[in-house]
Amino acid sequence: MEGIEHRMVSVNGIKMHVAEKGQGPVVLFLHGFPELWYTWRHQIIAMASHGYHAVAPDLRGYSDSEAPASFTSYTCLHVVGDLIALIDYLGADKVFLVGHDWGAQIGWYMCLFRPDRVKAYVSLTVPFRPRNPKIRPIEGMRAFFGDDYYMCRFQRSFSCPDPVSPLSDNYDTPA
């Protein structure tokens, strides 16, 4: 798509797919769930045309990036580690960071864990929510937004013995 280049890079023990275009300061775009680099295709082209090196990886476990088998390999520390390794690979000291949805949450963690590597941050759709050691994040969301909040709805199929039931409860299908 209009000169966007693709490559696989080795970062933090995985192979990561990266889409990029342009020269100059790095703007790192982080996609949400269930998305991939393609979410940022128009922004990549626009930022490259304004003198930036626009980079949009497929995060760990998404699309063409490697997906480790163990769920323990998907902590925020792992994903931020992937991004730090990517920034090192690109030869940048600091990046402009843009995150959407799940990518925005990762962006907040990156700002907390490695503020020395972030020049500026734009978070789309996800505000900063500090951790509360007394309550799980999903329970905090449920208490604040209610049981019908979209993140709470995602959890239903993980907590019931019959994962199809929540679908039947939420969607009408023609007879």
Q: What is the pLDDT of residues 110-158, one digit of tens each?
A: 999 999 999 999 999 888 888 888 998 889 889 988 988 888 887 766 5
Joined tokens for residue 4: 């966007």
Q: Which amino acid is present at 75? A: T
pTM: 0.84
- Dihedral in degrees, nearest 10, Cα atoms 139, 109, 13, 68: 20
What pLDDT shows up at residue 54?
99
What pLDDT shows up at residue 126?
84
What pLDDT shows up at residue 168?
62
Q: Which amino acid is present at 136? A: R
Domains and CATH numbers, the chain: 5-127 (3.40.50.1820), 131-175 (no CATH)
Whether 90 shows a pLDDT value over 80: the answer reads yes
Joined tokens for residue 70: 């163990």
- In sequence order, the 6+-apart residues with CB closer than 8 A to the CB of 116 are 94
> Rg of the chain over CA atoms, in angstroms?
18
